[in-house]
Amino acid sequence: MTSKSRKITQREIARIAGVSQTTVSTVLNDREGSTARIPAATRARVMEAIERSAYVADPAARRLAGLDNQIIGVFTYEPALSPESMDFYGPLLNGIERSAETLGCDLLFFTSSPVQDGRRKLFHRRTRLGLADGCILLGQEMDGADLDRLVDERFPFVAVGRRDETDARVPYVGIDYAAPTVDLIDRAVGLGHERAVYVHRGRETATARDRRGAVQSPAATRQIRTTLITDEDLTAVAGTVRDAGATLVLAEDAFLAEEVVHVLQTEGFDVPNAVSVAALAEVRGHRIGERALTGFHVRRRQVAAEALALLQRLITTAPEEWDALDTQRLLSADLEAGETVVERRPA
């Protein structure tokens, strides 16, 4: 073997097959029409030259010539492949990889983006964003300017997570926490609970508002009285529970739930027999003592799959017609029964 093969181009193939570069291109893309007809014999000759020389098209040239590339960009605001971020990013990346595989797309991770204020910047002088046909954005919080610019440039992208707070036109696939929150409360009511405390982090993100909204919604307040407090002074939790006569504590996320339980137990509460506890977020892998924490489960793999499907639709649709598309999608989190919300014991 050991051909000194530098780089095989269509021109090279053309020379071997005794045709023009145009013909090679036509054969490769089997483009047929009144303007370009290739008889079987010629086609075969060209094909053979291609097979024998193991030609592969230069993706850069294809891209420059205006074709798409089957490359999907993946941007994360922090390192995605570190052990710490794996809990969050792992299932998402897995879902993305699987979808990309079936779509026949490669994945371009923008790991080179310079870090500013502790998070990566999507746009910079040497960004390779333009190589991708579209881009998936991952991260707990994103830069509004980045999103605006993507929208302005009509670059196909999809954010994972609710993003309507920054720009109403941002396409996203997010999680609905409101519906399962109401479900969870229903279930607690069914177990006899009448007073609850909701401990939240006082954030003003869309999902935080969603959860508060659900807790304070008519559907919920009709059945249970809930006192809201923030995590600023966790030691106050015990007092609030006592004062409100609450038998159920909801926490904004699983970590907060764990802290709250610790405080309650220190104050002599029996969890969950005297006070039930649940988190309004992902709880897989979180336990309170021996018991699995009650809360939600988010099917992240499915979120990723939906995001890629949406992105694919954007890529294959002309920007002018994006308005007609349904580009903002919410998936409901699943209720994860767990074992920390139990029947209310008569006092």
Partner DNA sequence: GCCGGGTGATAATGCGTATTGGCGGATGAG
Partner DNA sequence: CTCATCCGCCAATACGCATTATCACCCGGC
Q: Which residues bind to a second copy, rule: CB under 8 A?
A: 1-3, 5-7, 54, 56-61, 63-64, 69-71, 79-83, 86, 90-91, 93-94, 96-98, 100-101, 103-112, 123-131, 148-149, 152-154
52 counts as binding DNA under rule CB under 7 A:
no
Binding-site size, DNA (CB under 7 A): 31
296-315 residues in contact with DNA (CB under 7 A) are none
User: Quick one: what does residue 21 bind among DNA, a second copy, none, with the CB cut-off 5 to 8 Å set by partner type?
Assistant: DNA
| Strands (DSSP E) found in the chain | 71-76, 106-109, 115-116, 119-120, 134-138, 157-160, 172-176, 195-200, 225-230, 248-251, 276-282, 287-288, 291-292, 294-297, 328-332, 334-336
What gap in Å lies between CA 108 and CA 138, rounded to an integer? 13
What gap in Å lies between CA 4 and CA 14, rounded to an integer? 19
Query: In this chain, which of 5, 44, 52, 67 binds DNA, going by CB under 7 A?
Result: 67
What gap in Å lies between CA 89 and CA 139, rounded to an integer? 9
Shortest distance, position 21 Cβ to DNA, whole Å: 5
User: Quick one: what does residue 93 bind among DNA, a second copy, none, with the CB cut-off 5 to 8 Å set by partner type?
Assistant: a second copy
Shortest distance, position 294 Cβ to DNA, whole Å: 54
Shortest distance, position 177 Cβ to DNA, whole Å: 43
23 counts as binding DNA under rule CB under 7 A:
yes
Count CA atoms closer than 13 A to 40's CA, side-chain side: 0
Shortest distance, position 103 Cβ to DNA, whole Å: 19
Prior bond to 272 cis, omega within 30?
Answer: yes
What gap in Å lies between CA 185 and CA 249, rounded to an integer? 11
User: Quick one: what does residue 34 bind among a second copy, DNA, none, with the CB cut-off 5 to 8 Å set by partner type?
Assistant: DNA
Q: Quick one: which segment of 14-22, 274-282, 295-303, 319-327 binds DNA (CB under 7 A)?
A: 14-22
User: Quick one: what does residue 347 bind among DNA, a second copy, none, with the CB cut-off 5 to 8 Å set by partner type?
Assistant: none
Residues that bind DNA (CB under 7 A): 7, 9-11, 18-23, 25-26, 28-29, 31, 34-39, 42, 55, 57-58, 61-62, 64-67
